[in-house]
Chain A
């Protein structure tokens, strides 16, 4: 099959494939971690720090231990091994050792017979703290501080990571530039707000094994961390991922409570369930970093980009998490979809005494792209060039290399621009709608799977898929890829069914279980469709070859003359001569019984030779161009977004239903960040740790979304596909910001853009004597 051919015909792929587990989800029969009960199961609970930054002077758990019904009380010193999702920045412990670093940091864990007893035990724990100065703003931590939050901070500061990159010669380019624009963006932190709270069950059994069920996007990284911290070899730990109720990055770190819960299970010899309430979930956070960025873009007289000069100050919260990656991404993901010949970036991620920030959908790209796309809109204004024309002029061509040596293979960015411009009726609307009514463009670029696995040892593929088929003809599909609602189980099943020509209902996607699922690194960096898809395809082709070989024995025709049809293998151009799928299967099984097939994916070598060169390299990139329409109530500052035209290049969309769902869901999440979501702090204290006070958009606020899937097949993606899980979030934010500019003539560089900021913006514009569209 030629994956890159746009004319390739499929039976299933490219259509609208309902989720294979859909019937279980709509009937309440899908099993999530909290639905699992084990006999003799105890309740696990955590005691959290009331202080943002303090030394733990003493911990007295004796009274708690003595309470009837309390099975274990654990404090930090029992498992002090530091861990973290990135092997280079291990700075977390399961339970705080000596020091607490944010309000909510875990200081003790209890297992008891029921909730009430567990709560009583927590109340009986006595901890003496010595309160330390709190650092709740990253600016406080960029120079030497008295009590660094971590010893690993740069030179006695709280800087967790500093990235300095310079490609080309920015100063020289600035000297020759004819136009110049600067945007200083400010972004509140936002969080994932998945509906299923974090929850873990752990059970240690007398055979020396530990089983952990957890709501996780990264079962393999959890497996590694459990082993490292608990000191058990990996083969004695079994990690199971039941259905997961959303993640968006919030379940993509191995988390302290998962390890604490397992530690309680080891301590008690009983199963322990640890279910978080919403405040726990908000305090665990790992959401998008509060960020300040400073973006300077220079162009020539026609609008060709000459240079980017960017700084970012990123509020990391208490731990590193993915922060090193975040710091690189805020720079390197700012450039595509454009050609940028000179680039300078300084990014600093600073620890603060706040809940840790981490990876959230479109990690590292969202905030910086808002500022860049806002700057480009401003440049169009200065240059008097249409925003679409400016972007098309600067578009990266297919098969090119960026200044920082990203390998760009497929890009249908220009097709996205054309589709969004035409479908939105842009030319009749931009600057032509009445005051208060506007239209804006925003564009996106995102990795389709991080090229670098987080762990390099041992050297192994990024994804492996196993297929097993026995005489019943059902096909068991095994892989540790974590479906968290995005539809990857369905895609895996559909790829196998497509290659083998069999019905989808023959597929049994087996629940992720480290005892039987070959490793996939997890659901992050928009890697699953690309990497799992390629691995699945290889496994399915290997199984197909076995079946075709058997069909050749039965028909007497050589394998190369046979082709796979619907539940049948027959001679090409002679459909009447052939055998059924089951006949071929049973023939193939004669000698060795059940058939097995395996496939794997390893991304090709890529990237430059300099420090940090791998950050942001990916086997492909997604692109997008969104147009949003806004209507502002110029009295109250409230506004709504009635319509979005979302042109997106995910290569070939293999399941249009899922891709649309990703785009619509991304628009919902992005609209939340641009219109109102914000983790609000007083000092270091999170003020709104509930879904009542942290408001995500309601159905009435959702625009009508027109998805324009215009991508050409990618040469290396499975059947030409690229990612559609994270990139689709990015463009909506600047599209709305730029539409507000078109509506009321105010540039918004601080998110969220709340009605009070809209009113203040209009007042400031009027006070400056500037009119807009006659108002």
Chain B
């Protein structure tokens, strides 16, 4: 193991300054060290998208990202996009339209979809499907997820 290094970044809008071994994976930093368990560990191989977070507003698989690579950047997790009270319009659409069943993939979808809607506020259904293609869901068959993202794009 190499010597721990100082890691400074912005996490959910707040500065973070921690000591972190160079091999620490961002997902482990979030879940194990910082107890931000909203980001899910589905495969640890970059195949499922459950661990998606935003780094500088772009979706990133935190299980494939070294924590140090987020140094100086802005990291946003599901905790960072959830309002202090209530839900965001995107989250509310997921609930109301049945886009979450077991819920394990949901935080990842919210992060990916949020990033999409920020870049492209009114995407077509095809664009939505392409954007979330890296996020696996085994419960919903995706229909209601695409519905929810579409509905949120109309609210925004």
Contacts and interface: CB of A to CB of B under 8 A. Distances in A.
Interface of A: 16, 18-19, 21-32, 34-35, 37, 192-197, 243-248, 275, 277-278, 484-487, 657-658, 660-661, 664-669, 690-692, 696, 698-700, 702, 704-705
B89 to A, nearest CB: 11
Interface string B72-111: 0000011100100001000110111110111111110010
Contact of A690 (B45, B106, B145): B45
Interface stretch (B3-11, B54-62, B116-124, B130-138): B130-138
B91 A26 contact: yes
A664 B132 CA distance: 17
Interface of B: 35, 37-45, 47-48, 50, 77-79, 82, 87, 91-92, 94-98, 100-107, 110, 126, 128-130, 132-133, 136-146
B102 A194 contact: yes
Contacts of B47: 278, 690-692
Given A18-B98, A195-B42, A690-B47, A27 B82 contact: yes
Contacts of B43: 197, 277-278, 690-691
Contacts of B132: 699
B144 A661 contact: yes
B45 A278 contact: yes
A422 to B, nearest CB: 22
A700 B91 contact: no
B104 A195 contact: yes
A664 B142 CA distance: 8
Contacts of B45: 278, 690-692
A640 to B, nearest CB: 13
A657 B97 CA distance: 7
Nearest to A486: B101
A23 B79 contact: no
Contact of B98 (A21, A658, A698): A658
Contacts of A28: 37-40, 77-79, 82, 106-107
B39 A195 contact: no
Contacts of A26: 87, 91-92, 94-95, 100, 103, 106-107, 110
Contacts of B39: 28
A23 B42 CA distance: 20
25 contacts: A18-B98, A25-B95, A26-B103, A27-B38, A27-B82, A27-B107, A28-B82, A195-B104, A195-B136, A196-B42, A197-B43, A245-B105, A278-B47, A485-B139, A657-B98, A661-B140, A661-B144, A664-B141, A666-B141, A690-B43, A699-B128, A699-B129, A700-B133, A702-B143, A705-B143
Given A37-B35, A700-B129, 20 more contacts: A23-B91, A25-B102, A26-B91, A26-B110, A192-B138, A194-B104, A195-B50, A195-B137, A196-B104, A245-B103, A245-B104, A278-B44, A485-B102, A487-B101, A666-B141, A669-B138, A690-B45, A690-B47, A699-B129, A699-B132
Nearest to A32: B104
Given A21-B103, A691-B48, A699 B142 contact: yes
Contact of B141 (A18, A19, A668): A668
B44 A277 contact: yes
Given A246-B138, A705-B143, A660 B98 contact: yes
A453 B149 CA distance: 42
Contact of A32 (B40, B96, B137, B146): B40
B133 A245 contact: no
A24 B35 CA distance: 16
A246 B128 CA distance: 24
Contacts of B98: 16, 18-19, 657-658, 660-661
Nearest to A277: B44
Contact of B140 (A197, A277, A665): A665
Given A37-B35, A192-B138, A691-B45, A664 B129 contact: no
Contacts of B146: 699
A117 to B, nearest CB: 12
A284 to B, nearest CB: 14
A194 B136 CA distance: 10
B38 A29 contact: yes
Given A18-B96, A691-B45, A692-B45, A30 B143 contact: no
A660 B38 CA distance: 27
A251 to B, nearest CB: 11
B144 A195 contact: no
Nearest to A666: B141
A243 B95 contact: no
A26 B88 CA distance: 10
A668 B101 CA distance: 14
A29 B107 CA distance: 9
A485 B141 contact: no
**What are the 5 closest A-B residue pairs judged by CB atoms, nearest first?**
A28-B38, A485-B102, A245-B104, A25-B103, A668-B141
- Dominant SS among interface residues on chain A: loop
B94 A196 contact: no
B102 A661 contact: no
A665 B139 contact: yes
Contacts of A277: 43-44
Contacts of A487: 101
Contacts of A34: 37, 40-41
Given A19-B98, A27-B87, A665-B101, A197 B41 contact: yes
Interface centre among B130, B132, B143 (most CB of A within 10 A): B143
A660 B140 CA distance: 9
Contacts of A22: 94-95, 100, 103
A294 B102 CA distance: 37
Contacts of B110: 26
B4 to A, nearest CB: 15
Contacts of A658: 98
Contacts of A702: 141-143
A661 B101 contact: yes
A665 B145 CA distance: 11
A195 B94 contact: no
B105 A195 contact: yes
B143 A485 contact: no
Contact of A664 (B38, B100, B133, B140): B140
Contacts of A244: 102
A248 B44 CA distance: 21
B98 to A, nearest CB: 4
Contacts of A698: 129, 133
B107 to A, nearest CB: 4
A356 B97 CA distance: 37
Contact of A197 (B42, B95, B103): B42
Contacts of A30: 103
Nearest to A196: B104
Interface centre among A194, A658, A666, A667 (most CB of B within 10 A): A194
Contacts of A245: 40, 42, 102-105
B103 A696 contact: no
Contacts of A666: 141
A699 B145 contact: yes
A272 B146 CA distance: 39
A485 B101 contact: yes
A32 B41 CA distance: 11
Contacts of B97: 657
A690 B44 CA distance: 10
A248 B138 CA distance: 9
Contacts of A193: 136, 138
A206 B120 CA distance: 57
Contacts of A486: 101
B7 to A, nearest CB: 20
Contacts of B130: 700
Nearest to B49: A195
A17 to B, nearest CB: 9
A484 B128 CA distance: 27
A319 B85 CA distance: 49
Interface centre among A24, A35, A487, A699 (most CB of B within 10 A): A699
Contacts of A664: 140-144
